[in-house]
Amino acid sequence: MREFAARFALMLVVYAGFATREPSYYHVAGIASLLDGAFLTGVIALGVGLTMVAGEMDLSVGSMAALAGVLSIKLETFGVLPALVASTALAALVGAAQGWFIARLRINSLIFTVGTLIAFRGFALLLAGEQTVNIPIADLDATDFLSAHWLFLSPLGGLLIVVALLIFGLTTFTSWGREIYAIGGGRTEARAAGVSVRRPLVLAFAMSAGLAGLAGAVMSLQSDSATPLGYDAVLLDAVTVCLIGGVALRGGRGSVVGIMIGLFTLRFLVSGIASLGAPFWAQSLASGVLLISLILAEGGYAFLRRRRSFAGVGGLRGGMS
Amino acid sequence: MLRMQNIAKRYGATLALEHVDLEVAAGEVMALLGENGAGKSTLVKILSGLEHPDAGSIEVNGAVRAIASPGQAKAMGISYVAQELSVIGCLSVAENVLLGDTTIGVFRSQSRLARLARPYLERVGLGYIDALRPAESFSVAERQLIEIARLLSRKTRIAILDEPTATLSETEIDRVKAAVRALAAEGCAVVYVTHRLGEVFELAGRATIIRNGRSFPAVATSSVTVDQLIEMMLGRRLDQMFPERRGGGGDELLVIKDCLCPGLTAPISLTLRKGEMIGFAGQIGSGANAILKMMAGLLPIQQGSISLHGKPFTPSSAHASIAAQIAFCSDDRKRDGIFAARNLFENLTAPTIDGISRLGVIDRTREAVRARGIAQQFDIDVNKLGRLAGNLSGGNQQKVALGKWIGLDPSILMVEEPTRGVDVGARAEIYRHLRRQTDAGLSVLFSSSDTHEVHGLADRVGTFFRGRLIDLAPASTMTVESMTRAITHPDLAA
């Protein structure tokens, strides 16, 4: 838990910093809008985070969210929930296939998902006829429940919490989840120990695509429309959240707790700046500065620790080589 | 338990195994010996299901079996521990012990895993560690033991251990040996591959020797000597492991005065003469390599002064040291010693790439000429220079890692663990090359955890214990025993 202490403290500092100026930060409605605002990035970050822990990265989540969004609007005629479930399941299935190919063909996932990033966008455009798709006006009421609020909890906020708990359980208590860590921490070592590389890759990519699909479908249904060109910035936000939350790019390291801390640190910062009336460029600049200063701080901390370990005899070989 | 007969394997035109028999009984430790390239690893691969033999039969527990895949080998109770560990740093110790265990089920909590792993950890002498901590927080030796605990947890019946002690120091080796004995005591048949012949006599009841793809009938270790084993491995007498000393005694080249750097707990002073070879003996973490790293510009110098050629010198960076013609050959050959994915021409000329380039463009002719020159000096087959360094045997890789520095025309060559992972024959060759360099006026500093090597090779010997230089004296005034005492518990030495 100590590894999260500093990050958690940072999150609280960001929160407190804005809460003193922004009363909405501790009002029920304010917290509700913070939670709702965190839904899209949060759910997608949890999925992308899994692929990062596996030592890979799913770049196609933005296009997948857009594709699933368009699909869910098209399927809405069969009911809102069936549309939601069907688009999510389909996205997860495509993601599983993606993971299977990456494992089977031993392709670098960055290359593979750059391909699908472009291709899924094409599919979304094809499906939507290159224009924004809308729910029939008669059905508009059917999706209202997605915008309902009970205190600070809406279906969006609730779904984010449920997804986080599920992924937490998966990564902490199941061998399938731990295998994702194993292949990320040492691919060859895991293989030598008899861990199949295919299953964790399929699982991680199915989850990342499925969660992207879920997020895209929920957001589209909530707003009753989907544009095939949407969600093009969500990948970077999600990766930023993961990095702030301590997910290692080289794999093997990262946790749901960390990702959630990263998510809310970023949300507190961005919406705080927005609510102070700062222009959009300031939000973007602030996220970038946050990420870079956090990584610099981590590097500095590691450097200090190495310096300190030099003082002892034992650290020599282990520390240097 | 295991009987392999008449095994043959051909890769294209090369016959890797011609005719090999290997028999191991339950509860027995069988040493598998041979030079690099003799066919040991091919045999091990066949046994672990990674390769299929062209001919021959494999009997496991009395039944003839074909081992089609690593999964099948695992199902038959055959486990292979590669030289590179398969312990995953970010997972907990308990998870590592039970990694790949399919009997536990999908849902598992860390505390339950720790409980399940505990008995296995205790049996390899790791009962004291916190199984919930990540494996990376433990030493290499402890990770090696975790790996053996994994073998126990899998109810392994045939264990193949490939040089499990290659990177360990003496005291750590004892712990691994104890764990190997525990493995055998549980009725496991152990195939033990090693280059350290001392271990063979301590651990193994019998030894099977492979030479050029053919095996000799297993010999009982109680009835042979080290020299006989070496003779069987090489097919000839190794009349001399260590070359003659000519007494290096030129002018003073390097004077280190009261120097301290990370890894040392007491200041060190020494003088290195031209053409002299000083060897530092010490266990891992003893600081034996600290002066080398400091001189290479890899560790900051905290106090003291250095003079080189009579002039003050500060090794402020690796670049500064190379510019002062001090070459450093690290013990981490894979990472620091060779460019595995490049050919030997490029590897051998890498330190002097400026010397063979004009305006930043590499002159391939000059590269080839220089590489051939070095190759001839170090007995590297000139026809193999186009090969990738990563595909060479350990001994040849080490020759490349050393040889490339010669192009720099260094005045001091510093080597960490000159023969780690190098077989007996190539070892003698590397000793001869190093000695030939000092005869030509080069000064050598090396550090090693192998006391025999330091004693046999160096002109003067330094012993290290916990960051202190215990003693520095001509090798002729020391014995291997007195050195071993000095690097393990010097307080008893006096």
Of B120, B105, B106, B84, give the one whose Cα is nearest residue A192. B84
Residue B51 falls within a domain, yes or no? Answer: yes
Quick check: A192 contacting B, CB < 8 Å?
Answer: yes
ipTM above 0.90, yes or no: no
Helix (H/G/I), strand (E/B), else coil: B303: strand
Query: How many other CB atoms are there within 10 angstroms of residue A192's CB atom?
Result: 22
Q: Do B286 and A320 touch (CB under 8 A)?
A: no
Q: Which of B234, B264, B284 marks a domain boundary?
A: B234
Residue from A2, A172, A178, A250 whose CB has the most chain B CBs within 10 Å, to mutate: A178
* B367/B223 Cα distance (integer angstroms): 51
Is there a single domain that holds both residue B350 and residue B488?
yes
* B155/B77 Cα distance (integer angstroms): 7
pLDDT tens, residue by residue, B320-366: 899 899 999 988 877 788 888 888 888 888 888 888 888 888 888 88
pLDDT > 90? residue A212:
yes
| pLDDT at site A199 | 93
| pLDDT at site A150 | 84
* A30/B436 Cα distance (integer angstroms): 79
Is there a single domain that holds both residue B137 and residue B266?
no
**How far is A106 from chain B, CA to nearest CA, in Å?**
18
Q: Do B107 and A192 touch (CB under 8 A)?
A: no
Q: Which residue has the higher pLDDT, B207 or B247?
A: B207
For the segment A221-233, the average pLDDT, to the nearest whole number, is: 93
Number of domains, chain A: 2
Strands B206-211 and B29-33: parallel
Q: Dihedral of CA A245/A250/A255/A259: which sign?
A: positive
* A177/A183 Cα distance (integer angstroms): 10
Q: How many residues does chain B have?
A: 494
Backbone angles phi, psi at A261, to 5 degrees: -60, -45
Is there a single domain that holds both residue A171 and residue A308?
no
The answer to pTM > 0.80 is no
| pLDDT at site B241 | 79
Q: Residue B7: which residues within 8 A CB-CB, separation 6 or more?
A: B17, B19, B20, B21, B22, B43, B46, B53, B55, B56, B58
Is there a single domain that holds both residue B216 and residue B273?
no
Q: Is B465 left (phi over 0), alpha (psi -120 to 50) or beta?
A: beta
Of A224, A86, A43, A40, give the one whose Cα is nearest residue A144. A224
| pLDDT at site B494 | 44
Residue from A3, A181, A317 whose CB has the most chain B CBs within 10 Å, to mutate: A317
Is there a single domain that holds both residue B272 and residue B228?
no
Query: How many other CB atoms are there within 10 angstroms of residue B51's CB atom?
Result: 18
Q: Residue B101: which residues within 8 A CB-CB, separation 6 or more?
A: B153, B154
Q: Residue B370: which residues within 8 A CB-CB, separation 6 or more?
A: B348, B349, B352, B355, B356, B407
Q: Residue B210: which residues within 8 A CB-CB, separation 6 or more?
A: B20, B32, B33, B34, B38, B39, B40, B43, B216
| pLDDT at site B86 | 80
Quick check: A301 contacting B, CB < 8 Å?
Answer: no
pLDDT tens, residue by residue, B61-72: 888 888 888 778
Q: Residue B24's beta-bridge partner residues? A: B2
pLDDT > 70? residue A309:
no
pLDDT tier at B127, thresholds 50, 70, 90: confident
pLDDT tens, residue by residue, B428-478: 889 998 998 898 889 999 999 888 889 999 999 999 988 889 989 998 898
Amino acid at A1: M
Tokens of B455: 């004693």
Residue of A nearest to B102 (CA): A175
Q: Do A185 and B466 touch (CB under 8 A)?
A: no
pLDDT > 90? residue A57:
yes
pLDDT > 80? residue B195:
no
For the segment B368-396, the average pLDDT, to the nearest whole number, is: 85
Q: Enter the DSSP assignment of B336.
A: I
Q: Which of B169, B202, B234 marks a domain boundary?
A: B234
User: Can you give the CATH number for the domain in which B30 is found?
Assistant: 3.40.50.300
Residue from B50, B80, B91 whose CB has the most chain A CBs within 10 Å, to mutate: B91
Q: Which residue has the higher pLDDT, B198 or B204?
A: B204
**How far is A241 from chain B, CA to nearest CA, in Å?**
21
For the segment B147-169, the average pLDDT, to the nearest whole number, is: 84
Measured CA to CA in angstroms, residue B260 lies from B91, B253, B305, B489 at distances of 37, 20, 9, 22
Under a CB-based contact definition with an 8 Å cutoff, are residues A186 and A252 in contact?
A: yes
pLDDT tier at A313, thresholds 50, 70, 90: very low
For the segment B404-416, the average pLDDT, to the nearest whole number, is: 90
Question: What is the radius of gyration, based on Cα positions, of chain B?
Answer: 24
pLDDT > 50? residue A320:
no
Helix (H/G/I), strand (E/B), else coil: A27: coil
* A133/A143 Cα distance (integer angstroms): 15
Number of domains, chain B: 2
H helices present in B237-353, as ranges: 290-295, 318-323, 344-349
pLDDT tens, residue by residue, B271-296: 999 999 999 998 777 889 999 999 99
Is there a single domain that holds both residue A300 and residue A153?
no
Helix (H/G/I), strand (E/B), else coil: B5: strand
Q: Do A317 and B289 touch (CB under 8 A)?
A: yes
Is there a single domain that holds both residue A269 and residue A303?
no
Structural domain span for residue B438:
252-492
Is there a single domain that holds both residue A149 and residue A273?
yes
Amino acid at A160: L
Is there a single domain that holds both residue A153 and residue A292?
no
Of A184, A310, A262, give the one whose Cα is nearest residue A3. A262
Of B189, B231, B183, give the one whose Cα is nearest residue B33. B231
pLDDT tens, residue by residue, A116-147: 999 999 999 999 999 999 988 888 888 888 88
Query: How many other CB atoms are there within 10 angstroms of residue A191's CB atom?
Result: 16
Structural domain span for residue A105:
2-134+142-278
Quick check: A197 contacting B, CB < 8 Å?
Answer: no
Residue of B nearest to A172 (CA): B109
pLDDT > 70? residue A311:
no
Q: Residue B311's beta-bridge partner residues? A: B308
Q: Do B91 and A310 touch (CB under 8 A)?
A: no
Under a CB-based contact definition with an 8 Å cutoff, are residues A203 and A180 in contact?
A: yes
Residue from B81, B99, B152, B336 whose CB has the most chain A CBs within 10 Å, to mutate: B99
Tokens of B414: 């510093």
Q: Which of B99, B105, B139 sits opposite A182 (nearest CB)?
A: B99
Residue of A nearest to B336 (CA): A321
Is there a single domain that holds both residue A225 and residue A310?
no
Is there a single domain that holds both residue B220 and residue B305?
no
Helix (H/G/I), strand (E/B), else coil: B227: helix
Of B252, B296, B249, B290, give the one whose Cα is nearest residue B271. B252
Q: Which residue has the higher pLDDT, B234 or B405?
A: B405
Q: Which of A186, A194, A310 sits opposite B88 (nearest CB)?
A: A186
Percent of chain B with pLDDT over 70: 97
Q: Compute the count of residue pairs across chains A and B with CB atoms less than 8 Å apart.
A: 100
* A70/B366 Cα distance (integer angstroms): 63
Enumerate the residues of chain A whose CB falls inside 8 A of the CB of residue B293: 316, 320
Question: What is the radius of gyration, based on Cα positions, of chain A?
Answer: 21
Is there a single domain that holds both residue A310 and residue A176?
no
Tokens of B428: 């003698």
Residue B181 falls within a domain, yes or no? Answer: yes
Residue B239 falls within a domain, yes or no? Answer: no
Q: Report the mean per-residue pLDDT for chain A.
A: 89
* B461/B477 Cα distance (integer angstroms): 9
Q: Which residue has the higher pLDDT, A162 or A321?
A: A162
Is there a single domain that holds both residue A60 and residue A158?
yes
Q: Which of B100, B289, B299 sits opposite A194 (nearest CB)?
A: B100
Quick check: A194 contacting B, CB < 8 Å?
Answer: yes
Stated as kind and residue range, the H or E segment containing B313 is none
Is there a single domain that holds both residue B207 and residue B267?
no
Of B376, B385, B375, B383, give the one whose Cα is nearest residue B345. B385
Amino acid at A242: C
* B209/B428 Cα distance (integer angstroms): 19
Q: Which of A263, A278, A293 marks a domain boundary?
A: A278
Q: Do A189 and B109 touch (CB under 8 A)?
A: no
Residue B240 falls within a domain, yes or no? Answer: no
Measured CA to CA in angstroms, residue B160 lies from B25, B181, B183, B409, B488 at distances of 13, 13, 11, 43, 30
Half-sphere exposure of B31 (CA within 13 A, CB side): 24
**How far is B89 from chain A, CA to nearest CA, in Å?**
7
Q: Which of A175, A189, A317 sits opposite B106 (nearest CB)?
A: A175
| pLDDT at site A321 | 33
Q: Is B57 left (phi over 0), alpha (psi -120 to 50) or beta?
A: beta
Residue of B nearest to A169 (CA): B107
Q: Enter the DSSP assignment of B221.
A: G
* B365/B363 Cα distance (integer angstroms): 6
Q: Enter the DSSP assignment of B243.
A: P
Is there a single domain that holds both residue A173 and residue A76?
yes
Tokens of A186: 């040492």
Q: Do A316 and B90 touch (CB under 8 A)?
A: no
